[in-house]
Chains A and B, each alone.
Chain A
Amino acid sequence: MSQAEDKFDAIIVGAGPAGSACAYTLAKAGKNVLVIERGDSPGSKNVTGGRIYTYALEMLEPGIFAEAALERRVTHEQIMLLAGQRAITVDFHQPGFNAEDQAPVSFTVLRAVFDEWLAGKAEEMGAIVACGIKVDRLIEEEGRIAGVVAGEDEMYADVVIAADGVNSFMAQEAGLIQDISAKTMGVGVKEVIELPAQTISERFNLQADEGAARMLLGCTEGIHGGGFLYTNKQSISLGCVFTPEEVAQHKRSVHEIFQDLKMHPAIAPLIAGGETIEYSAHLVSEAGVRGIHPKLHREGFLMIGDAAGFVINTGYSIRGIDLAIVSGIAAANAIIAAAENIASVGPNYIQELNRLKLLPAMKAADGYFEVLETPWIYDKIPNLANDIMENLFRISGEVPLRMKDNVLGAIKANGLTVWQLAKLGIKGVRSL
């Protein structure tokens, strides 16, 4: 058997959103594509907090979101500041995020369901999706990546695409990264808690198919990180992300801290009566544009999605699935445009990542990284905010504090200075 007969235009390692979006786009253009997935089914190894921004699906195929395996349409954007037993919740409601004649801004999502659906769409376009197979290593020939090895099998392609997630062993195999660094990573844990749809709608004040997305600050015992809560159709995804380096110094298990969050007086009633149906965990890049691997390609090889480090965390929103899909489309476009000229695939890919605004969006969000590096925003800020609120609302018959004294007193009580806060404000204004 000659090698040419057996050769694919592209082999994609991993059937997550990046891999499947890439496969979909390539197959649609008539390319011969093989997707190899180590899980039993696409998505069975994958975890999200909870949401996908719809524009990426619109980029893949206009209108496809209507049939996608998604949960609720997010119209409530919430931020919660926890301190001790106390909590401040900000709820921004915009029904227009789910306007009738356009794609909703975002959906809550469960990955095992969504990824399987998206891989199915790629298959409909003609891609081959092979599940239950782990790629062991890459084949290198004449200085370029020429294929993959899985068990006894060798498979060849013009281009191998690493869509194998945050731990990307493929990128390490290709010699493009040493190993990911714990310093730029967060470890996320999540419980999916089943509840009747009606109960969820009532507790979060949601119309029929509306959903809420909530970011939580002050639930990590001062560790760099935060919680999240997403309402699905018939479940709630509750989780928390931590910087593992700080957890190690803090010497308390992420599991323990997360269980505390679950039982918090402002959280427990939201999930009361529910049943936990799954516990999951995943690493996530926290460094934004600084976490993107410096080399995203070499001849015959591209990295997309989490493998490339495409995540944006602004503190109030977290983006990963959309960037994965966009990068998958960018990789596919690069291969289609290159035609026979394989050497141009890499440069084309970077060009596409810019044209589709992925790299510019990540650069624009870089300032958030600086702000989020401030150690005291994870405990002192939520505590300060709650102290000020408590001073406002605790009426005792004494002469109330003047607002100025309330705020200055609370700043001092939290071991902060006006100057520190002003500096953070200036940093925020400068970098955002």
Chain B
Amino acid sequence: MSIARLSAPELLSKNKFNVDEEEAHIIIDKAICARCSDKACLYVCPAVLYKLDKNGEMSFDYAGCLECGTCRVMCKEKGIIKWVYPRGTFGVNYRCG
């Protein structure tokens, strides 16, 4: 395989995840996000999990989270109302690290 620019979903597909289907470890309040002018999360999340949908509303999927914590420290308006590590054994499972 030759080297190519990879999209975030392509990159995430290389990783091993054990997604916790019962409990989201990060929850956002879209109403608060709508008031945020910076929306830093759109740019700082390495997995590009924060996106604006067609209506300009913030959407987020915790499934591909790399658990770095950057969105948490950058969230100025506190639209991220919950940020904890996934429950034991769940989440990303690095094989290289």
* Chain A residues with a Cβ under 8 A of chain B: 38-40, 43-48, 110-113, 115, 131-134, 150-151, 166-167, 169, 179-182, 185, 187, 189, 191-193, 235, 237, 242, 244-245, 247-248, 250-255, 259, 262-263, 268, 271-283
Contact = CB atoms under 8 A, between A and B. Distances in A.
B96 A113 contact: yes
B89 A40 contact: yes
Nearest to B18: A40
A43 B94 contact: yes
Interface in B49-94: 66-70, 72-74, 84-89, 91-94
B3 A271 contact: yes
A46 B94 contact: yes
Nearest to A111: B97
A192 B96 CA distance: 7
Given A191-B11, A245-B40, 7 more contacts: A44-B95, A45-B92, A132-B89, A182-B73, A255-B11, A255-B48, A281-B47
B44 interface: yes
Interface of B: 1-6, 8, 11-12, 14-15, 18, 38, 40, 42-48, 66-70, 72-74, 84-89, 91-97
Nearest to A41: B93
A16 B42 CA distance: 30
B46 A259 contact: no
Contacts of A167: 69, 72, 85
Contact of B3 (A134, A166, A180, A193): A193
Interface of A: prevailing SS: mixed
20 contacts: A39-B89, A44-B95, A45-B85, A48-B97, A110-B97, A167-B69, A169-B84, A189-B46, A193-B3, A244-B70, A245-B74, A250-B43, A255-B8, A271-B3, A273-B2, A279-B12, A280-B94, A280-B97, A281-B46, A282-B68
A44 B8 CA distance: 20
A47 B93 CA distance: 11
A274 B73 CA distance: 34
B43 A276 contact: no
Contacts of B46: 187, 189, 254-255, 279, 281
Contacts of B47: 255, 279, 281
Contacts of A115: 97
Given A185-B73, A247-B44, A252-B43, A281 B68 contact: yes
Contacts of A191: 11
A189 B88 CA distance: 24
A313 B2 CA distance: 33
B96 A235 contact: yes
Nearest to A151: B88
B40 A247 contact: yes
B43 to A, nearest CB: 5
A134 B97 contact: no
A37 to B, nearest CB: 9
Nearest to A16: B97
Nearest to B71: A244
Contact of A280 (B66, B73, B86, B87): B66
A230 B73 CA distance: 28
Given A134-B88, A254-B46, A112 B97 contact: yes
B27 to A, nearest CB: 16
A283 B73 contact: yes
Nearest to A273: B2
A180 B47 CA distance: 21
Nearest to B95: A112
Closest 5 CB pairs of A and B: A111-B97, A248-B40, A281-B46, A279-B11, A112-B97
Given A244-B40, A247-B44, A263-B3, A111 B66 contact: no
B15 A279 contact: yes
Contacts of A282: 66, 68
A108 B55 CA distance: 46
A111 B46 CA distance: 19
B95 A278 contact: yes
Given A47-B94, A112-B96, A248-B74, A276 B5 contact: no
B60 to A, nearest CB: 15
Contacts of A193: 3
